[in-house]
């Protein structure tokens, strides 16, 4: 689930040291591990969060799953929230955050009444640039932190997801919605640091997308201010941001 663009975004935009966590559910002590990192970035991924984590209907047999990642990421989310470590969830990452904190997901949002198809375009000759180009508008919650950050009411984002948030976790607040009502961004209520999830791929060319760049920069700053690393050099977090 961790591509080069995520590593680059953490290093060059968040200005932190990226360290990739292997999916080793059951063998990673989440509570101990978060004492060793300054922040957690949850990347996108092909497989979907399995429905037994939120009492959903079973997947079809051919649905891609990744139980090792489910079992690694969600305990880390809960441990980070409990200890005030910054978390930035991207695409699958926002879904993991919501489920880890008590919410649920739509299996296929485009099958829900009045919902649009948020999946990537399906074409054999499509380029990655076409896949990642902006697909729809998101509208910020009035008075929310995204609106204050950007000084506007809406921006365009890319869209590559089949699942989306259904029941929002009680501890999360909505920061942005798609035109059809799909939740596109959340933030932890009464957040002491930076605990944010976004449904689009914010790691894709953030230098060309002001909101994504600003969020990655804010995440990096939160890692430096709220992380556990005692030493800092040239403004960079010397302890890792796990991805």
235 pLDDT more than 90: no
Please provide residue 155's backbone torsions phi and psi, each rounded to the nearest 5 degrees: -145, 170
Q: What positions carry a catalytic annotation?
A: 91, 201, 203
What residues contact 88, with CB distance under 8 A and at least 6 apart? 39, 40, 41, 42, 194, 196, 197, 198, 202, 215, 216, 219
Helices (H) and strands (E) in the chain, counts: 7, 12
Average pLDDT over residues 17-43: 93
Pairing of strands 87-90, 136-140: unpaired
Q: pTM, whole model, 2 decimals?
A: 0.94
% of the chain surpassing 90 pLDDT:
86
Tens-digit pLDDT profile for residues 137-196: 999 999 999 999 999 999 999 999 999 999 999 999 999 999 999 999 999 999 999 999
| Helix boundaries (H) for 84-229 | 92-100, 128-131, 145-150, 210-226
The residue behind tokens 């760049």 is 213
pLDDT given at position 25:
87
Q: Which residues pair with 242 in a beta bridge?
A: 19, 40
Residue by residue, DSSP assigns 16-80 as: EEEEPPP--TTTS-HHHHGGG-SEEEE---SSBPPGGGGTPPPPPTT--B-HHHHHHHHHHHHHH
Helix axes 67-83, 92-100, angle to 10 degrees: 60
pLDDT given at position 226:
77
Joined tokens for residue 57: 């209907």
What residues contact 70, with CB distance under 8 A and at least 6 apart? 25, 49, 50, 53, 96
Task: Categorize the per-residue pLDDT at 241 as very low, low, confident or very high, splitting at 50, 70 and 90.
Answer: confident
pLDDT given at position 237:
60
pLDDT given at position 122:
81
- In angstroms, the CA 36 to CA 58 distance is 36
Element at 82 (helix H, strand E) = helix 67-83
pLDDT given at position 236:
65
pLDDT given at position 136:
97
Tens-digit pLDDT profile for residues 120-134: 988 888 999 999 999
């Amino acid at each position: 689930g961790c591509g080069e663009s995520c590593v680059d975004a953490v290093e060059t935009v968040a200005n932190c040291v990226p360290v990739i966590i292997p999916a080793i559910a059951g063998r990673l002590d989440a509570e101990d591990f978060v004492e060793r990192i300054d922040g957690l970035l949850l990347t996108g991924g092909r497989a979907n969060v399995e429905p037994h984590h939120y009492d959903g209907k079973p997947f079809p047999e051919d649905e891609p799953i990744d139980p090792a990642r489910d079992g690694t990421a969600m305990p880390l989310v809960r441990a980070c929230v409990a200890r005030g470590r910054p978390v930035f969830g991207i695409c699958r990452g926002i879904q993991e955050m919501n489920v880890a904190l008590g919410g649920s997901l739509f299996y296929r949002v485009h099958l829900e009444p009045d919902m649009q198809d948020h999946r990537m375009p399906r074409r054999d000759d499509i380029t990655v640039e076409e896949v990642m180009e902006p697909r729809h508008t998101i509208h910020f919650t009035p008075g929310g932190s995204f609106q204050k950050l950007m000084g506007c009411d809406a921006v365009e984002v890319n869209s590559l997801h089949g699942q989306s948030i259904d029941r929002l976790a009680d501890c999360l607040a909505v920061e942005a919605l798609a035109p059809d009502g799909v939740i596109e961004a959340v933030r932890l209520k009464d957040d002491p640091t930076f605990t944010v999830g976004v449904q689009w791929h914010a790691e894709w060319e953030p230098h060309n997308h002001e909101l994504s760049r600003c969020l990655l920069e804010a995440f990096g700053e939160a890692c430096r201010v709220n992380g556990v690393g005692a030493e800092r050099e040239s403004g960079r977090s010397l302890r890792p941001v796990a991805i």
